[in-house]
Amino acid sequence: MLYLSLLTLPRTASRWRFLQPYQLHQVLWKGFSDISGKIPDNRFLYRHDEREQEHSVLVQSAVAPDWSFLESETDGTCTQVKKFDLGAFSEGTRFRFLLRANPVVLRRGYPGEGRRGEEKRRLIPVGSDRQRMAERLGLSIDRFPSREEQLLDWLQKKGKGGGFELMDCVPGPNHDYVVRRVRKEPPLTLTGVEFEGILRITDSNSFATTLQQGIGRGKGFGFGLLSMMRT
């Protein structure tokens, strides 16, 4: 069983006017005082959409949340919660889906050295280093997979081990999300891409795990939540 919450936070309230990713993450944790972030099965996932009049936050969790602290705090704040059964996702079923992910890959050979003199490794947004990779492999850029092809390959690989396959998918443009953290820590920039399309479930048990644990990195800052609707 999973719980899906929709939180509407009005921007007319000073508390919600400028809602930063780190601040939002801290707020959401208050709704799950009994779970541990170290246990993947207990992790909550969310997606934040910033609109002109309000912040809309979709939250998925394995345990029932308690949003009472929000409803009593600011006029205009609205919370809705519903639950759904993971057993409803059977093999062969098709769904329209939306995924905001942080697709990255670990690359070697960047300036500087890693431990023990090894080439420095860095997490790079998928498809962002085509020219560099083409040169390293001795290929012309027109023979190297496009950004869109690399992104689809990334998601298809996630699906292979995650109980689904892509029937149709269109990756959106890159969008950088800046996370300003506490104290003197430098800001953290995460690259997000929205995938929309149609998927088919190939393994119901693996797919249930994928839904619950999310896809990719950056889950603590609004990435990885897979939303679906029957076709």
Residue 159, domain CATH: 3.30.70.1210
Give me 55's structure tokens. Answer: 């912040």
> What is the pLDDT at residue 64?
92
Counting every residue, how long is the chain?
A: 231
Same domain for 222 and 119: yes
User: How far is 146 from 166, CA to CA, in rounded Å?
Assistant: 18
Residue 214 lies in a domain: yes
> What is the pLDDT at residue 193?
97
Same domain for 216 and 134: yes
* Bridge partners of residue 30, in order along the sequence: none
> What is the pLDDT at residue 124?
85
Same domain for 125 and 76: no
Residue pair 97/225 in contact by the 8 Å Cβ criterion: no
39 CA to centre of own chain = 17
> What is the pLDDT at residue 109?
61
Q: What is the pTM of this model?
A: 0.86
> What is the pLDDT at residue 5?
97
Residue 89 lies in a domain: no
The total of other beta-carbon atoms located within 10 Å of residue 193's CB is 23
Q: For 26, list phi and psi in degrees, rounded to 5.
A: -65, -40
Residue pair 3/60 in contact by the 8 Å Cβ criterion: yes
> What is the pLDDT at residue 160?
96
Same domain for 220 and 185: yes
Residue 90 lies in a domain: no
Same domain for 80 and 151: no
- Number of domains making up the chain: 2
Buried residues in 26-57 as b, exposed as e (16+ CB within 10 A) = ebbeebbeebeeeeeeebbbbbbeeeeebbeb
Same domain for 135 and 41: no
> What is the pLDDT at residue 82?
95
Same domain for 200 and 115: yes
> What is the pLDDT at residue 197?
97
User: How far is 10 from 16, CA to CA, in rounded Å?
Assistant: 6
Residues of the chain with pLDDT under 50: 113
Same domain for 146 and 52: no
Instruction: Report the CATH number at residue 9.
Output: 3.30.70.1200
Domain residues for 172? 95-230
Residue 56 lies in a domain: yes
Same domain for 123 and 159: yes
Same domain for 102 and 150: yes
The total of other beta-carbon atoms located within 10 Å of residue 7's CB is 25
